[in-house]
Chains A and B, each alone.
Chain A
Amino acid sequence: MKKRIIVLAMIVIVLFSGCENGFGIVKQKEEEKNSIKIGVSIYDEYDTFISDMVSELKEWSKKKEKETGITIMIDVVSAGQSQLTQNDQIARFADQGYDVVCVNLVDRTDATVIIDKAKSVDMPVVFFNRELVEVDLERWDKLYYVGAIAQQSGEMQGKIVVDELKKDFGAIDRSGDGEIQYVMLEGEAGHQDALVRTQSSIGYVVEEGYKVKKLGDEIANWNRAQAMTKMNALLKKYSNQIEVIFANDDDMALGAIDALEYYKFKKWPLIVGVNGTKEALEMVKTKKMAGTVYNDFKGQADAIMKIAYACAMEEAFPEDMKLANGKYIYLPYKIITYDNAQQYIVIRED
């Protein structure tokens, strides 16, 4: 009698564990990868350069989809310049089981929440364009950064100006005092690229032995309209004294141009920007801008997607990709002047 009860009890236990296993197996099946989800959060949807990057990311995905037949769902959201919003977006991606996220940080000093959340659900993160501090990046081995070396872009800006100065110093130094009077249009306060570019562009010129004098230095938040406003104010104040305009990026350079056109300036100062957006290239072609520094958005997008894809598919990175410190990919900038502007216009369209 007792024996029978024991036998029955054992059957029950076996049945139960069978149930558990059954559920387990069902869950396992769903994890065979035939589709991956990539989340992308950008700091601001209106930033031209970032918009170009996003288009590239999407195109890369479409191409890859056709190539491999694996569905790539790429979900792009804008954080509207709010780090809190971005944190929520990443949290949502994490909760919905996205395979990998690409983050264009709003506040580069405030990556903790995102890193913690991503780590807790084992979701790799590819940061891009807005660089976080190395200490943060070291917190987990599935964090990566793709960008460019800001120092280089600033120096290239400096080089463009120096080359022009070398060609014809007098034409630029309108005041004839041997000093170059310039104004600087800066990106956001505290932004890595803004700080470095501001410093290295002028630094390069100075190192080449030229004397410079800063007339004005305004923050325009990468925003064309804001740059225009600031430029207006500067023009009102300094008018023809301004000999060179350094803009941390093309959007602000274009804003400066807007101001100059608005005031119908006849003789324009030298204008340099960074990024190589479509309009800026046109400006370089028409010589309104002395030059710009091409930010290889295609290369960066390619690198971002390669890393993201590999992470999502849990494969190794392609052999030709070399990550510095196992985490960083920096793509080089390129100087764009009148001579190669057209060439890059074409490259962009490709």
Chain B
Amino acid sequence: MKTVRSLLFVSLLLVVILGVFWVYYSMMTEQENKEIRKVSVILYGNSSEQWENLSQGAERAAKDLGAEVSLVTMSGDNDTSEQIGLINREINNGANAILIAVCNSKELRPYLNNLESKIPIVMLETGIMENAKYKCISSDNFEMGSLLARHIIENEDPKVKVAIIYDNEQRDSVVKRYEGFCETFADYEDRIVLWKRNENEKSNKSMLYLQRELTEEAVDIVVALDNTATEGIVDAVLNLNKSVKIYGIGNTDKAVSNLDDNTITELIYQNEFSIGYLGMQEVLGAVDMSEEELQSLIEFRAVTKEDMYTAENQKMLFPFVK
């Protein structure tokens, strides 16, 4: 009897000590493992320069929330299959969350809506049109287009001829901006021409086909609805030394610099830092807001050469790049 009891005691003691150590151990390692989540930010386009502000915002939020960011860009601008491949790759490599700026809204919709993965996904800047399974964080694209139109109406001669660069329309951000613009410009509809790529120009740089358009058609104002279009038309205009007014939507250092030397007459920029920041917060679950609420938090502004150096605008146009 006695030996059995003693044995029981000793083994109970050992079990308790083991248990304590195990709990301690697992708590320690859990703490370490729990912390770092990996977020993949998959962006369209092959350059990361245009996404500088957005990635800054994403990284800032990630740092605050203890997550790691992998920035993924594509090798071309619009290859849907490549982007899908990248999404799959990132998921397989163990991404805990994904932020994505889709290169083609329509073509990515079936893929994204049918995606079986459990990880949180948030779309940035451009969505996949109706019935999206995931939230899209962007500014009010429709309003941006509308604002552009309004300013043209206010500041320009009503008789001006306006060319809209209808490029990258596979992204619904562009589409919305276009719709916003057209609605406000409805009264002057007849003065709008659309510049689209020809079939054989599909893979050209935007600058080339715009140069063609510039030479073919004489317009007073060119409206660019996204960054690539803006940079393209700027290059085209400088190359051909044309004097057209450019009203653009964009965000890069280049665009800002061109605004400064008046190549661009007016630039509408959106606070991409906020998009990146809020996107990261949403996808990591730190906030949970509706698309409308998020949209209201993302500012966009129209700037011209005159007011680009005001204190407010400065902060947006010239972000602190680390």
Asked whether A and B interact, the reply is yes
What is the interface of chain A, defined by CB distance below 8 A to chain B? 1, 4-5, 8-9, 12, 15-16, 19, 23, 34-35, 45, 55, 58-59, 62-63, 66, 71, 73, 75-78, 96
Q: How far is the CB of A261 from chain B (nearest CB, A)?
A: 14
Tell me the count of chain B residues lying within 8 A, CB to CB, of chain A: 22
Q: Is the CB of A1 within 8 A of B93?
A: no
Residues of A within 8 A of B310 (CB): none
Whether A1 touches B14, Cβ cut-off 8 Å, given contacts A19-B25, A73-B70, A78-B321, is: no
| 30 A–B contacts from the bound complex (CB under 8 Å) | A1-B3, A1-B6, A1-B7, A4-B7, A4-B10, A5-B10, A8-B10, A8-B11, A8-B14, A9-B14, A12-B14, A12-B18, A15-B18, A16-B21, A19-B22, A19-B25, A23-B29, A34-B93, A35-B93, A58-B46, A62-B75, A63-B75, A66-B75, A73-B70, A73-B71, A75-B71, A76-B48, A77-B322, A78-B321, A96-B68
Q: CB within 8 A of A71: which of B11, B75, B93?
A: B93
CB distance from B322 to the nearest CB of A (A): 8
Specify the chain A residue showing the minimal Cβ separation from B322: A77
Task: Give B contacts to A, CB under 8 Å.
Answer: 3, 6-7, 10-11, 14, 18, 21-22, 25, 29, 46-48, 68, 70-71, 75, 89, 93, 321-322
**Contact status A62-B70, CB under 8 Å:** no
CA distance A4 to B5 in the complex (A): 13
Interface residues of chain A: helix, strand, loop or mixed (majority)? helix
Closest 7 CB pairs of A and B: A62-B75, A1-B3, A73-B70, A4-B7, A5-B10, A12-B14, A35-B93
Where chain B touches its partner, the secondary structure class is helix
In the complex, which residues of chain A have a beta carbon less than 8 angstroms from the beta carbon of B89? Answer: 71
Q: Given the complex, which residues of A lie within 8 Å of B25, measured CB to CB? A: 19
Residues of A within 8 A of B18 (CB): 12, 15
Contact A62 B6 (CB under 8 A): no
13 more A-B contacts (CB under 8 A) besides A1-B7, A5-B10, A16-B21?
A: A1-B3, A8-B10, A8-B11, A8-B14, A12-B14, A15-B18, A19-B25, A45-B321, A55-B47, A59-B75, A62-B75, A66-B75, A73-B70
> What is the distance, in angstroms, from B42's C-beta to the closest C-beta of chain A?
12
Say how far A5's CB is from chain B's closest CB, in angstroms.
6
Q: How far apart are A119's CB and chain B's nearest CB, in angstroms?
A: 24
Q: Could you tell me the distance in whole angstroms from the C-beta of A44 to the nearest C-beta in chain B? A: 12
Expressed in whole angstroms, the Cα–Cα distance for A230 and B299 within the complex equals 41
A135 to B47, alpha carbons, bound, how many Å?
37
- Complex CA gap A78/B322 in Å reads 8
- Measured between C-beta atoms, what is the minimum distance from A223 to chain B in Å? 15
Question: How long is the Cα–Cα vector from A77 to B70 in the complex, in angstroms?
Answer: 14
> Smallest Cβ distance from B285 to chain A, in angstroms?
23
- Nearest residue in B to A12 (C-beta to C-beta)? B14
Residues of chain B lying within 8 A (CB to CB) of residue A58 = 46, 48
Residues on B with beta carbons closer than 8 Å to the beta carbon of A35: 93
The residue on A at minimum CB distance from B17 is: A12
Taking the nearest CB of chain B, how far is it from the CB of A30, in angstroms? 9
- Closest-by-CB residue of B relative to A63 is B75
Closest B residue to A23 using CB positions:
B29
Residues in A with CB closer than 8 Å to B47 are 55
Residues of A within 8 A of B322 (CB): 77
Chain A minimum-CB-distance residue to B72 = A73
Q: How far is the CB of A96 from chain B (nearest CB, A)?
A: 8
A8: chain B residues within 8 A (beta carbon): 10-11, 14
Chain A residues with CB under 8 Å of B14's CB are 8-9, 12
Is there an interface contact between B10 and A62, defined as CB atoms closer than 8 Å?
A: no
